[in-house]
């Protein structure tokens, strides 16, 4: 074999080795990062950017299973409120038992896309409540919500509401007094316009700048912030301080990746942190938590904070959002629909 052939063969071997090594390097670079088995999911209390104004209201978001037994529980159903409900008073000639009232309730508690409810005036406490078996009531009221995120109450829905409320009243020998339809529909439209102008559902997308992440890697880092796995695969939540309320923040990534036969092989290049502003009380400082969680997770996981359209968010952008939110909170407070209140949770749902 000539020296030229030997040289060509040597070069070919080097090229082949180079290709193999490059493929190995590329595979390692592209393989998703895995959770570190040496580091258990321990929640931490991160230091926020503005300790004087924010940290005073920051609560450790970590809840153990035992804590769930002592967390305060919200009312199962907030009472009807003239602020966001159409309400018809129903007079009765004699006391009505809770059993009879329950039997007279309609099969469905919705009118179109709006919640429908009936309450009785408890003879013992003097408070309005959902009818309870074994109790007695001397007055009732039937209501339907004026608006929600689907839209305002319309004439057709109002007519259906009247039919349902009248049927209930007839069953308990009551006499309902309905408000004027046109006035209530107009009120619904005005409330819907206000809600639409003051609704805010924020989300930041954290995008990987180098290697992708496995679901376990995301879970491990998010758990250190107090996030726990949600019911839906690919979703984690930062629980509210009151059991049963909407989470303060949510984290979501590709559901299919979370449901893969071997999730460790799933390569995830982005996840989203979200905040439903009207659902969370102002004093929970949810945006500060959202911002800091995005910053720390992005730093620890080699990611960049974007608006979901690949536009990187700067501190200037985030400060502007924070200012807008303060104005939104003020507007909700002035309308007596403070973020996180029962009325706001119903209206913005």
Pairs from 292-298 (Cβ < 8 Å, separation ≥ 24)? 292/46, 292/48, 292/49, 293/46, 293/225, 293/238, 293/249, 294/204, 294/206, 296/46, 296/225, 297/206, 297/221, 297/222, 297/225, 297/273, 298/206
Residue % of the chain over a pLDDT of 70: 77
Place of tokens 């978001």: 61
**Average pLDDT in the chain:** 84
pLDDT in tens, 104-131: 999 999 999 999 999 999 988 889 999 9
Secondary structure, 3-state, 315-340:
HHHHHHHHHHHHHHHHHHHHCCCCCC
Most confident listed range (29-43, 248-262, 273-287): 273-287
CA distance 51 to 213: 31
Question: What's residue 258's pLDDT?
Answer: 81
Q: Of 70-79, 140-149, 314-323, where does mean pLDDT reach its minimum?
A: 70-79
Q: Is pLDDT at 292 greater than 90 in this prediction?
A: yes
Q: Taking a C-beta distance cutoff of 8 angstroms, is the pair 62, 223 a contact? A: no
Q: Is pLDDT at 192 greater than 90 in this prediction?
A: yes
Q: Tell me the whole-structure pTM to 2 decimals.
A: 0.79
Which domains, from first to last, does the chain contain? 55-69+200-347 (3.30.1400.10), 85-196 (3.30.1400.10)
């Amino acid at each position: 074999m000539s020296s030229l052939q030997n040289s060509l063969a040597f070069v070919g071997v080097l090229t082949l080795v180079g290709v193999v090594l490059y493929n190995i390097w590329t595979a390692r670079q592209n393989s998703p990062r895995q959770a570190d088995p040496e580091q258990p999911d321990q929640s931490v209390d991160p230091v926020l950017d503005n300790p004087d104004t924010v940290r005073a209201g920051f609560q450790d978001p970590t809840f153990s299973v035992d804590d769930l037994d002592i967390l305060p529980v919200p009312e199962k159903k907030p009472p009807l409120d003239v602020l966001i409900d159409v309400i018809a008073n129903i007079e009765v000639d004699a006391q009505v038992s809770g059993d009879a009232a329950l039997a007279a309730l309609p099969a469905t508690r919705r009118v179109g896309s709006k919640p429908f409810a009936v309450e009785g005036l408890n003879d013992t406490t003097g408070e309005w409540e959902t009818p309870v078996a074994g109790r007695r009531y001397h007055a009732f009221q039937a209501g339907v919500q004026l608006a929600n995120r689907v839209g305002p109450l319309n004439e057709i829905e109002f007519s259906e509401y009247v039919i349902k409320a009248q049927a209930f009243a007839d069953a308990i020998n009551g006499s309902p007094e309905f408000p004027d339809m046109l006035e209530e529909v107009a009120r619904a439209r005005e409330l819907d316009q206000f809600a639409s102008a003051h609704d805010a559902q924020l989300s930041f997308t954290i995008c990987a700048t180098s290697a992708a992440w496995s679901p376990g890697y995301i879970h491990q880092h998010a758990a250190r912030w107090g996030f726990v796995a949600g019911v839906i695969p690919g979703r984690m939540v930062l629980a509210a301080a009151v059991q049963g309320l909407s989470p303060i923040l949510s984290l979501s990534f590709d559901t299919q990746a979370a449901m893969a036969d071997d999730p460790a092989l799933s390569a995830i290049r982005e996840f989203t942190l979200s905040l439903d502003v009207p659902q969370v009380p102002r004093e929970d400082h949810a945006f500060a938590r959202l911002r800091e969680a995005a910053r720390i997770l992005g730093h620890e996981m080699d990611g960049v904070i974007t608006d979901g359209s690949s536009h990187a968010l700067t501190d200037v952008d985030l400060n502007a959002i924070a200012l807008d939110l303060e104005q939104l909170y003020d507007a909700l407070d002035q309308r007596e629909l403070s973020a996180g209140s029962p009325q706001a949770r119903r209206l913005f749902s």
